[in-house]
Every structure is written in C-alpha cells, then in structure tokens.
Homo-oligomer: A and B are copies of this chain.
Amino acid sequence: MDALVQHLERLLSQRVELHLKDHRTLAGRLAGLDEHMNIVLEETEERTEAATRRLGRVVLRGSNMISLTAPGAPGRSP
C-alpha cells in the first residue's frame, strides 16, 4: 500500500490546486503533506468567486480539503 505515498512525494515542489469544503481554491507550490492530507503550500493564491489574493505560505488542515489536482502532471490521456 506504499503506492499512495510514492505518488504524493512525486508531487512535491509541483504547482497544485486544492479544492476546499468551503468552496475556496488554493493554488500554490506543494511543499509538504502527510497521510492526513495536511498540506503546506508556498507562493499560495486563494481564489474565490469574488477575488484572488496572495497568502504566502499556508498550512491547510487536511479535514478541510476535498481534493488536490496537479494540472501540470503528465496525466496520460486515452
């Protein structure tokens, strides 16, 4: 079951988007994460329907996250 950890470590230092339960999106460089999905982002931008603002370094408690997408990752398409 190490497959998950290996995939997550491969995402470190990449730009990712976090989709939160409160409908915000956080976009930034993935600097750290653990199996609770606690996450550290750097160069973070918070995006809501109303506005975008710079937040610097952000630690997100995993329980507030729905999913993380890595748009730049080489997702092979069929």
Contacts and interface: CB of A to CB of B under 8 A. Distances in A.
A77 B42 CA distance: 9
Interface residues of A, number: 50
A53 to B, nearest CB: 11
Interface in A7-66: 7-9, 11-12, 20, 22, 26, 31-40, 42-44, 54-66
Contacts of A71: 55-56
A22 to B, nearest CB: 7
B5 A1 contact: yes
B37 A34 contact: no
A36 B63 CA distance: 10
Contact of A8 (B1, B8, B43, B65): B1
